[in-house]
Amino acid sequence: MTMQTLLDAITTALGDVPRPVPLHEPYFAGQEWTYVKECLDTGWVSSVGSYVDLFEQKLAKKCGVKHAISVVNGTAALQVMLRLVGVRAGDEVLMPALTFIATANAVSHCNAIPHFVECEKSTLAIDGKKLSDYLEKIAHIKDGDLYNKETGCRIAALVPVHIFGHPADMDALQQVADQYGLPLVADAAESLGSLYKGKPVESYGLCSAVSFNGNKIMTTGGGGAILTNSSDLAAKAKHLTTTAKQPHKWEFVHDEIGYNYRMPNINAAMGCAQLEQLDDFLLAKRKIVDAYSRAFDGVNEASFHKEPDYAHSNYWLNAIVLHDVNERDSTLAALNQAGYICRPIWRLMHRMAMYETCPRMDLSISEEMEARVINIPSSVKHGL
Ligand SMILES: *Cc1c(COP(=O)(O)O)cnc(C)c1O
């Protein structure tokens, strides 16, 4: 029977662990207590303190970029990143329909309009070829800007999402972006530690946004960052996220409408401790993947979702792809009933009430994958 085979595979992979088994738990085995205590002891818990600078330096290095600007969460990082590359009110932003709601919300927070594009089966990320064919039909370039012929709106950016940590095909997407003069900026909320063609995936495109929410591969409690090689964009990001205040000994002069999005020092302290363990977390993830791959090898009902050939994924969240499009909900019910906290992939963006009327291309692959993908327990501790 289907359910029993799937249950057995998960049990074989994870071994005898207490249930319920969460989908993804944070793991604290480093200097978290020490660094956070230091913030409390010294009083530097809030918007000023040395851990913020330290965290940003270490993070930039890890991601192979020149600059990291830490902020309060991944959604804020996305919003600021979009604003930095010129997304304005009324513009459309190309982004996948298959993603977490925050990508679309960040576009909306810029008063822009999400324009949903199709994913490919292998990575679940944007399909460059289909996007290119689509833009060929619906878009035209006028005075150096790209416009949607159907809505008349400017198309201002292309935002791939590295789903579950698996890098989108950035070279293919960069080619589309270049062809149409679009800035390529990535939602890398899930992919910290992933490599694309041997280099950190965050080093591709103009900027990337990462998240340090409690369910991500490492956490600062809540947090996010903008990563870029551009010194100009980095300076603008810092300025915008810290109330756009001009430096002065005592005067409060703010030169545009900024945000209070700065990451507090106490969260950055936790981030420094977590970052020191990231390589161990990545190794642990590999062990879990090996165990799942072996356990699902030969299972007829589903396949284990693997990284593409060109990438080394952080495997943040593991997934299985059911072969039957009609079994997802009964499978979820059985797995959760057995104490394995499993979840469907996110409901597609164009099926949410607030995004129903947004422009979109044919999304049949996204719709098929929505019906087939299930996330299975992926906590670091299973691989230690
Ligand atoms: C987690 C996540 C975000 C948002 O990050 P927060 O820190 O929760 O705001 C954005 N996009 C994707 C794909 C995510 O998984």
Choosing from 119, 213, 375 the residue with most ligand 1 atoms within 8 A of its CB, the one to mutate for a pocket test is 213
pLDDT at 197: 98
The answer to whether residue 366 scores a pLDDT higher than 70 is yes
- Cα(350) to centroid of ligand 1, in Å? 18
Determine how many CB atoms are found less than 10 A away from the CB of residue 50.
Answer: 15
- pLDDT, tens digit, for every residue of 232-273? 999 999 999 999 999 999 999 999 999 999 999 999 999 999
**Among 188, 170, 183, 216, CA closest to 99:** 188
pLDDT at 2: 72
pLDDT at 131: 98
Q: pLDDT over 90 for what percent of the chain?
A: 98
Q: In the 8-state DSSP scheme, what is residue 308?
A: -
**In ligand 1, which atom is closest to the CA atom of 211?**
7
- pLDDT, tens digit, for every residue of 142-171? 999 999 999 999 999 999 999 999 999 999
Chain region(s) in the chain for CATH 3.90.1150.10? 3-25+278-383
pLDDT at 345: 98
Q: pLDDT over 70 for what percent of the chain?
A: 100
Residue 302 confidence class, pLDDT cut points 50, 70, 90 = very high
At residue 260's C-alpha, the angle toward residues 162 and 111, to 5°, is: 60
Superfamily of domain 3-25+278-383: Aspartate Aminotransferase, domain 1 (3.90.1150.10)
Question: Contact at 8 Å (CB) between 279 and 200?
Answer: no
Mean pLDDT of 304-322: 98
pLDDT at 222: 98
Q: pTM of the full predicted structure?
A: 0.98
Architecture of the domain defined by 32-276: 3-Layer(aba) Sandwich (3.40)
Distance of alpha carbon 371 from alpha carbon 362, whole angstroms: 16
- Cα(119) to centroid of ligand 1, in Å? 18
Chain region(s) in the chain for CATH 3.40.640.10? 32-276
What's the distance, Cα to Cα, between the start and end of the chain in Å? 32
- pLDDT, tens digit, for every residue of 51-63? 999 999 999 999 9
- Cα(100) to centroid of ligand 1, in Å? 7
Residue 3 confidence class, pLDDT cut points 50, 70, 90 = confident
pLDDT at 1: 54
| DSSP-derived pairing of the beta strands 311-312 and 343-344 | unpaired
- Cα(108) to centroid of ligand 1, in Å? 15
Mean pLDDT of 95-102: 98
pLDDT at 47: 85
Residue 11 confidence class, pLDDT cut points 50, 70, 90 = very high
Residue 378 confidence class, pLDDT cut points 50, 70, 90 = very high
Residues 6+ apart with CB under 8 A from 92: 112, 113, 114, 115, 148, 151, 153, 154, 155, 156, 359
Question: Contact at 8 Å (CB) between 59 and 192?
Answer: no
φ, ψ for residue 330 (rounded to 5)? Answer: -70, -35
| DSSP-derived pairing of the beta strands 92-96 and 154-158 | parallel
Residues 6+ apart with CB under 8 A from 143: none
Residue closest via CA to ligand 1's atom 7 equals 74
**How far are the Cα atoms of 193, 249, 361 from residue 77, in angstroms, in the given order?**
18, 28, 26
Question: Contact at 8 Å (CB) between 186 and 203?
Answer: no
- Cα(75) to centroid of ligand 1, in Å? 6
pLDDT at 91: 98
User: Where is 226: in which H helix or E strand?
Assistant: strand 224-228
Question: Contact at 8 Å (CB) between 242 and 192?
Answer: no
Distance of alpha carbon 136 from alpha carbon 375, whole angstroms: 35
- pLDDT, tens digit, for every residue of 128-142? 999 999 999 999 999
- pLDDT, tens digit, for every residue of 175-214? 999 999 999 999 999 999 999 999 999 999 999 999 999 9
**In ligand 1, which atom is closest to the CA atom of 216?**
1
Which residues surround ligand 1 with Cβ inside 6 Å?
73-75, 99-100, 102-103, 161, 187, 189-190, 211, 213, 224
